[in-house]
Structure 1
Amino acid sequence: MTTRTIAIHHVTAALRGARRRGLAVDPLLTAAGIAPVLLAQPRARVTADQFARLVKGLWNALDDEFLGFGADRSRRGTFATMGLLAVHSPDLRTALQRAASFYALFADTDADTDPLRLEVVGDTARFAARLSMVDDPDHFLTESVLVIAHRFANWLVRTRIPLLLAEFDYPQPAHRAEYDLIFGCPQEFGAPRTAVSFAAAHLDRPVLQDEASLAGFLHRSPADLLARRDYDRTVGARVHTLLARAVRAGAASPSGPGLPGLDEVAARLSVSPQTLRRQLREEGAAFSRIKDQVRRDAAVAALVAGRESIEELALRLGFSEASAFHRAFRRWTGASPGSYRAASAPVPR
């Protein structure tokens, strides 16, 4: 799985319901290994593991799988009960229909506004969410439900189901770039609905999980699904994966060949450099920005882990000197590497 970091925006958004319920959030942040002071840094990032621990902590503290956003609590175990219905379904279509019907039982709405709905139009399936929230201006819960539903569907049929489109019935937000990492597909804002679409043929896939495997899945928690950023359908995501693998393999060490350049990445993807540039440009991406994202995410993860000095980290990421790394890291996150690591709480073991 490609290692990616999570924008502090999502951390702040996840805490909104807990704060509305009067819960002290600083202890939860610290327990997750996230320093509360990072909330004041708009460009700060956290690791996927930190974010997953935070979501689990919020679930436990609130006894609410909707994280305090709903008018009523969705008590812990609700998702597990829905999962039992899903794994005893013959195919994905039935599983998703049962999931939608299950959650409709808890909604104070009429049949035309069920919180979740599976629709099929021609050869395209659409899973839509319309949640009645008390206070969710960031649309965090609605988007989270769609992400978890899609990745749960992948798990049920043991196949990655590529998303064709993600639609949102609200304007494009300031953190628009994060949506590529979350959904890995084209997005449309200001749409008539909030939904994700995929090829309807996947609905006929048989469910390949059972109660035993569900127990293992629940032990890892759906929070892990929410924290993942491992899509590689777009060209930009595939480039990101190749560069991230190079960092993990130590290819960016001073004694190694360094991060592969655009020409080498193009060769690995079996296209010309010119074609790769054009494909990235059509997606609104650029090789240099993706390279920055890979280095940024690796730097954040390393600073949180705290197992190497800043000088060693700078060299491992391919910077000629520590000062260049300091400048780059401040540009990425708004903080120096030293202050960021000092602010980060120890990762729980």
Structure 2
Amino acid sequence: MLAVVAAALLAGSIAPASAIDFAKQQALAEKGVRYLESAVPGSGDTNVAREMLVARAIFKHRIDDRHPKVAAAVALARQVMADPVHENHKIDELGLSLTLLAELTPPQPAVRGNEHQRLCKQIYDRIIARQSPDGSWRNDSGRGDILLTRSALLAIWWYQGDEAADDSPAERACNWLLLTQSPAGAWANHSKDPGTDVRVPPEQTRLAPFVAGVSGLYIAADLLHFEQERTFSSPFQSIEPRKPTTTVIDPARLWHALDLADRYWAANAHADAGKLQLDYLHSLERYYAFRDHVRGHSVPRGGPRWYNDGVELLARTQAPDGHWASQANSFGPATDTALAILFLYHVRRDACFGESCRP
């Protein structure tokens, strides 16, 4: 289904396309949300990651924190934290729980201390406690996991918002990502800190872990306030970049690593086109969103071409009943549909297209 992808989507072009068709976007999301609202979970199973993704997709569209699916996900997150069996719960499930709760509870002082915020803090503390000494995250005692590290960083980003926070987790994760990047600019699924400042080629690199690695590095850069000057169409208009909040990360080294990764993507983006899946599409959205923000790209009001091409792709591949499903290695139609809706809502809640953008 997803074998044919527009070249601009893979290249990450921010060149303007035709203006975003909000009616189409809303129609696709509405149809997908109706499917999620009617979908029944698998017999007897409770998949925390799926329920958090589904609830977040519905909340993006309905903007209703009392929606039954949203309320059920919040109750599930509370149950997970209260159950001692879940003390070592999977990092991706903790991260998705925190991301949902952080969106339900914006980090303004007026709402600090409410029930959602206290639960957010509990999950955040557990994620931080699970960070490995080398700065990565993993679900067992094996090597650092690139996907879980990105998931943890994204959850931390959502939780912290624009508030001053402890930089240490982001610094350590950033350093691990710098050390495990290959000389070509890529990452593998699982990597071990080589213990030196010399890049060591990983055993195997593919585009899915690469996108997780580069988006994780851009998220860490944003958490630590590394960004370039934002310029606009007018030569007299710009926004001064924030000053980095850390002295632990060498700016030159970080920017070199990001340059290396962007060049790797430009040279290899076409390689996995036939295997593109919805979790991969969602990861690409995170990469492009954080890259555009950190790099100071002025995104056209009509939307970047990669986003518009992604909407067209989703319009072509939505099933009559509203769901989406990857061809291979699918996480199930509910998860895939939630990921598709989250991609659609890049423009609505995670970012704006124009002159003041946040991922």
**Greater per-residue strand proportion:** 1
TM-score scaled by length of structure 1: 0.32
Which structure carries more helix by proportion? Answer: 2
What TM-score, normalized by structure 2, do the two folds share?
0.32
Q: RCO higher in 1 or 2 (8 Å CA, sep ≥ 6)?
A: 2
Please identify the structure whose Cα radius of gyration is greater. Answer: 1
